[in-house]
Amino acid sequence: MEHKAGYAAIIGLPNAGKSTLLNSLIGQKLSIVTHKPQTTRRRITGILSENEYQIIFLDTPGILDPEYLLQEKMMEWVRFSLSDADVVILIIDVNDDRDGGRLLSHELIKRFLDNPGAPVILVINKIDLIDQETAVALVNHFNLQNKFSRVIPVSALTGFNKESLTFAILDNLPAHPKFYDEDIVSDEYERFFVAEIIREKIFELYSDEIPYSSEVEIEEFKEREGPKDYIRAAVMVERASQKGIIIGKNGEAVKKLGQAARNAIQEFHGKDVFLELFVKVAEKWRSNERLMKNFGYKLPESED
Ligand SMILES: Nc1nc2c(ncn2[C@@H]2O[C@H](COP(=O)(O)OP(=O)(O)OP(=O)(O)O)[C@@H](O)[C@H]2O)c(=O)[nH]1
Ligand SMILES: [Mg+2]
């Protein structure tokens, strides 16, 4: 068999399970996952390399109607990922719409997929939450629409049917040598994932607008000889009042954040770390082009 390689963009509404699916397909926790929508803010690359193929998965932010600049940037990442895709994985959450009608006529999805430029595989996710009969009916319903190259029910959480999905993707990939060395799992640096892990813990530990107003920057990441590496990270919020909330009474909230983040970072990094967190105010950063650029919200093309 000729070696196949190409790009598979995972797109869908917020919270559909895109990042969970990416992690499940590459067999490693790479992209952060929370129960809150809008967890993912840019494109996350996850590379699956086998002898006969290499699939470069692109996890993307959930499709939404942008209300501020950050959300506009998030949608740019979706468009950019679609333009790179050899195959599109459109993922829907069974909970969102059990009769299947509304979701796919969803205006937002249409806007992105009217002219996909690549075959689309429809993935019906969270199948573990419904009975088999309902699942079969859903698959039949979408198959009858004749819009998709395949319709596959999966559970990104349990891994159910992920092999079928991988084969369906391979059916749509061109013969091509590998793009990356097989031991490379992502094109991002480790410090990016460390920042993402801290962001994940902010999503888990804080409520209301706090997760959405927070960004994390790794200011220093020092690999050291001793038992612990050193990481200094800044948590950026939009207003002074939010800084107070992140820190909490007597610093208790930020201490909890630090502990949760440290444990998760150590698991990812494979070595103990000394994590120092600083909380800073970056006035209205979500609407500030320059600040967002500093935080890395720019497409590879628009580097200047
Ligand atoms: N029961 C069940 N839950 C799932 C499944 N896949 C994802 N979830 C849950 O759905 C929630 C959202 O998952 P994510 O992977 O973060 O979803 P996403 O599409 O990446 O979300 P955004 O990045 O916010 O757009 C999390 O609580 C997951 O644990 C699944 O197959 N079954
Ligand atoms: Mg996500």
Q: What pLDDT was estimated at residue 112?
A: 81
- Over range 214-225, report the average pLDDT: 96
Residue among 30, 33, 40, 202 to mutate when testing ligand 1 (max atoms within 8 A of CB): 33
Q: What pLDDT was estimated at residue 146?
A: 85
- Over range 8-28, report the average pLDDT: 96
Q: Is 43 in the pocket of ligand 1 (CB under 6 A)?
A: no
Give the closest residue (by CA) to ligand 1 atom 11: 35
Query: If DSSP codes are grouped into helix, strand and coil, which group holds residue 57?
Result: strand
Distant-in-sequence, close-in-space partners of 53: CB < 8 Å, separation ≥ 6? 3, 4, 5, 170, 173
Residue 200 token pair: 């994940």
Q: What angle do CA 112, 55, 50 make, to 5 degrees?
A: 165
pLDDT tens track for 235-250 = 999 999 999 999 999 9
Buried b (16+ CB within 10 A) or exposed e, 19-53: bbbbbbbbeebbbbbbeeebbbbbbbbbbbbeeeb
Q: Are residues 48 and 101 in the same domain?
A: yes
Q: Are residues 166 and 201 in the same domain?
A: no
Q: Are residues 121 and 253 in the same domain?
A: no
Q: The domain that contains 242 carries what CATH number?
A: 3.30.300.20
Average the pLDDT over each of 58-62, 116-120, 295-299 and give the range with the smallest value.
Answer: 295-299
pLDDT tens track for 267-277 = 999 999 999 99
183 in any annotated domain: no
Q: Are residues 75 and 167 in the same domain?
A: yes
Q: Are residues 203 and 133 in the same domain?
A: no
Residue 56 has pLDDT above 70, yes or no: yes
Backbone angles phi, psi at 215, to 5 degrees: -140, 155
Range(s) of the domain holding residue 12: 4-171
179 in any annotated domain: no
Residue among 10, 13, 15, 203 to mutate when testing ligand 1 (max atoms within 8 A of CB): 15
**Ligand 2: distance of its center to the CA of 173 in Å?**
24
Atom index in ligand 1 nearest the CA of residue 23 equals 15
Average the pLDDT over each of 14-23, 145-154, 247-256 and give the range with the smallest value.
Answer: 145-154
Give the closest residue (by CA) to ligand 1 atom 8: 17
Q: Are residues 37 and 165 in the same domain?
A: yes
Average the pLDDT over each of 162-166, 230-234, 292-296 and give the range with the smallest value.
Answer: 292-296
Q: What pLDDT was estimated at residue 180?
A: 97
CA distance linking residue 12 with residue 75, whole number of Å: 11
Query: Maximum distance among all alpha carbons in the chain?
Result: 62
Q: What pLDDT was estimated at residue 248?
A: 98
Q: Which residues pair with 8 in a beta bridge?
A: 57, 87
Dihedral sign for Cα atoms in the order 126, 202, 27, 37 = positive
Q: What pLDDT was estimated at residue 303?
A: 45
In terms of C-beta density within 10 A (0-12 exposed, 13-18 middle, 19 or more buried), how is residue 243 classed? middle
**Ligand 2: distance of its center to the CA of 227 in Å?**
33
CA 302 to chain CA mean position, Å: 21
Residue 21 token pair: 């699916």
Q: Are residues 12 and 149 in the same domain?
A: yes
Q: Is 186 in the pocket of ligand 1 (CB under 6 A)?
A: no
Top-ranked range on mean pLDDT: pick from 84-98, 248-262, 290-304: 248-262
Q: Average per-residue pLDDT in the chain?
A: 93
Q: Tell me if 1 sits within 8 A of 52, measured CB to CB.
A: yes
pLDDT tens track for 85-143 = 999 999 999 887 644 555 566 677 777 888 888 999 999 999 999 999 989 988 998 89
Q: State the total domains in the chain.
A: 2
Atom index in ligand 1 nearest the CA of residue 125 equals 31
Q: Which residue has the tokens 């004749």?
A: 146
Q: Are residues 43 and 161 in the same domain?
A: yes
Q: Are residues 36 and 125 in the same domain?
A: yes
180 in any annotated domain: no
Atom index in ligand 1 nearest the CA of residue 61 equals 25
Ion ligand 2, residue ranges at CB < 5 A: 18-19, 39-40
Distant-in-sequence, close-in-space partners of 288: CB < 8 Å, separation ≥ 6? 69, 282
Q: Tell me if 254 sits within 8 A of 260, measured CB to CB.
A: no
